[in-house]
Structure 1
Amino acid sequence: MASVFVSWYWTSSSSSKNHIRTFMPVVVCWFLWSARNKERFQGVRWGVEKVIREVDCFLEQLGRANKLRRSHFTGDADCDLLRLITAPPRRRTPCAVAWEKPPFGLIKFNSDASVNHGRATGGGLLRDYQGKLIFAYYKEFGEQDVLEAESMALLFGMQLCLQRGFRPSLVEVDSKALVQLVVSGVIAKWPLCNILRKVRGLLEGFSASISHIFREANSPANRLADIGAVGVRVYDHFHQLPAIVQASIVLDSRGVPGVRWLSEEG
């Protein structure tokens, strides 16, 4: 049962403790438990449709009580439950975020993934303490969900580091869900569990730490994941990269920030 909850929670890279994917399974289980107790101790017959109606009614009550926010549905903009939101829209304010160079003598690895029309691709790069490129890569991963694509892009890049004799001390991805899964050590669904096991092993072998970085500060990896090429590409020299990736790397090396929009209550 625990693995079912974990799998549901991590189906979205945007999941958090207040996300719809977090409390929906809890609500469903509560009403199933309640229905079971009523049948056992009160003789009240229960059915699936009745439980569904009770869950829907409870969620509508949350909506009428202004307890639902758009942030609870991040990454699920097509969810029908958004109609229940009655709270005023949030204001958005800009915030500067930038990629940080690793300390002197250390190297940092960044990766990202993209899923378009069910087709997953990933990319990443290794840079030194001056922000200069050591190598970069792009790879197709077939039909995968977002979290699996993120984890595959991370694993492939770390394996390239190992094959080439590099030991990054710092690893960054812009999927908070992936970082939490790796750090927590929880058992995820197959094949994600196997990928995570290998990632943890490589991190331990490198004596490296993994952390979350905002997408706006992970631009080169993001650009690499969106190249749209076929198969696998590994770039050993800066001039081999697409111009848009080169530009992102130069901006990072000079400390130029990206803009992240933060939401505030209206």
Structure 2
Amino acid sequence: MWRLLNGWLPFQDKLQQFGLHLPSKCSFCPSSETLQHSFVHCWMARYVWSYFQCMLGVRGAADTLIKTLQGWWILASGKSPTAVLVYLLPVLICWELWKARNQVVYENVFLRPPYICRQIVWHLNAIGAAHPFACANDDTWRRLGLLPIFKMPKLLKCIPLVWSSPQYLYSKLNVDGSSLGNPGHSGGGGLVRDYHGQVIAAFSAYYGFCTNMEVESRALLEGLLLCVSLGLVKVIVHMDSEQLLKIVQRTISAPWKLDSLVRQIHEVLSRGEFVLEHSYRETNAVADELAKQASTTHIGRGPTKPPLYQGE
């Protein structure tokens, strides 16, 4: 296809540039053989293109190969089975037309158009056998003679997104941060509930001009300090920032700007039995609303203030 689109197939007009003079007559009709003629204008090419265009409802053949391919590939958007089919077919059509031309020129074997169409379908079946297509309910595939080689779509897993109470003797802390602009005006919020689901304490704090990760870290630190100030030693901590969770768990490295905050978080975590878990935003809605309120109104101060790390 690269050689075809760049005009580097050995047709007579190209070979003449190297001093080679061969018969210039088309292998299938009395016209002169050129790239555009062999792949677009010849009756053999028009038959093959029209056969598949009628099947898929693609617009009629254009006057150049590039426009013909564009007419196909403009319909190949997305990842549906039909889009994959529309993307593959022009390549296979060009390949089989080129092979049919060479069969006549070098082996004096004439291939009829229906045979070429069957070869193209055979290639599609071979591709489907190696890499099964996504499941399709379109009857177009069977009209083309394609075998039903489809892979079943992945089954969706339903996850109930609802806040749940912690286990007996544990408390649950939900924290979140909000930065309007990243960086921008930022605020953090959170609340602590007991194993009955009753709210013990909450905070909504404005942190000034921060990035998303910085305000998420500040909110987590403030929530942990709130738990310590309340004398809670068994706490399940839920946050919707998966990246911050990985940083605190040392799965990934912390950015240098967050190094001080992360060290403070680790120091507070050593004071009790804290279990850090990722939660979906739908189950962290109250903390998210408290954080947005602080970042929007620029007011709010939680019951605790994060102290500076020792040595700073």
Q: CA contact under 8 A between 2:185 and 2:298: conserved in structure 1?
A: no
The residue correspondences of 1:60-209 to structure 2 (distance < 5 A) are: 87-88=78-79, 95-117=159-181, 118-184=184-250, 186-209=252-275
Question: Does residue 219 of structure 1 match 2:293?
Answer: no
List per-residue Cα deviations over 1:149-181 (Å, max 9, x = no partner). 111111012112223323342111000001111
- Hey, what's the Cα distance between the residues in 2 that align with 1:205 and 1:154? 15
- Hey, what's the Cα distance between the residues in 1 that align with 2:157 and 2:269? 36
Q: TM-score, normalized by length of structure 1? A: 0.51
Q: Which has the higher strand share?
A: 1
Output the amino acid matched with 1:157: G
- Hey, what's the Cα distance between the residues in 1 that align with 2:222 and 2:277? 17
Following superposition, the deviation at residue 211 of structure 1 comes to: 0.8
In structure 2, the CA distance between the partners of 1:93 and 1:171, relative to structure 1 (3 Å rule), is closer
Q: CA contact under 8 A between 2:175 and 2:239: conserved in structure 1?
A: yes
List per-residue Cα deviations over 1:75-123 (Å, max 9, x = no partner). xxxxxxxxxxx6449x999753112211112111110011113111110
Following superposition, the deviation at residue 188 of structure 1 comes to: 2.0
Following superposition, the deviation at residue 222 of structure 1 comes to: 0.9
Secondary structure of the structure 2 residue equivalent to 1:98: coil
The number of residues matched between the two structures is 152
List per-residue Cα deviations over 1:21-73 (Å, max 9, x = no partner). xxxxxxxxxxxxxxxxxxxxxxxxxxxxxxxxxxxxxxxxxxxxxxxxxxxxx
Percent identity of paired positions between Structure 1 and Structure 2? 31
2:297 — aligned with what? 229
Output the amino acid matched with 1:162: V
Unaligned runs of 5+ in 1: 1-85, 236-266
Q: CA contact under 8 A between 2:246 and 2:252: conserved in structure 1?
A: no
Q: Which has the higher contact order (CA 8 A, sep 6+)?
A: 1
Q: CA contact under 8 A between 2:206 and 2:301: conserved in structure 1?
A: no
Q: CA contact under 8 A between 1:122 and 1:140: conserved in structure 2?
A: yes
- Hey, what's the Cα distance between the residues in 1 that align with 2:157 and 2:252? 35
Secondary structure of the structure 1 residue equivalent to 2:174: strand
Secondary structure of the structure 2 residue equivalent to 1:232: coil
- Hey, what's the Cα distance between the residues in 2 that align with 1:104 and 1:183? 25
The residue correspondences of 1:16-95 to structure 2 (distance < 5 A) are: 87-88=78-79, 95=159
Secondary structure of the structure 2 residue equivalent to 1:192: helix
Q: CA contact under 8 A between 1:109 and 1:168: conserved in structure 2?
A: no
Q: CA contact under 8 A between 2:169 and 2:234: conserved in structure 1?
A: no
- Hey, what's the Cα distance between the residues in 1 that align with 2:208 and 2:163? 29
CA RMSD of aligned residues (A): 2.9
Secondary structure of the structure 1 residue equivalent to 2:214: helix
Q: TM-score, normalized by length of structure 2? A: 0.44
- Hey, what's the Cα distance between the residues in 2 that align with 1:176 and 1:96? 19
Output the amino acid matched with 1:102: P
- Hey, what's the Cα distance between the residues in 2 that align with 1:132 and 1:124? 14
- Hey, what's the Cα distance between the residues in 2 that align with 1:154 and 1:185? 17
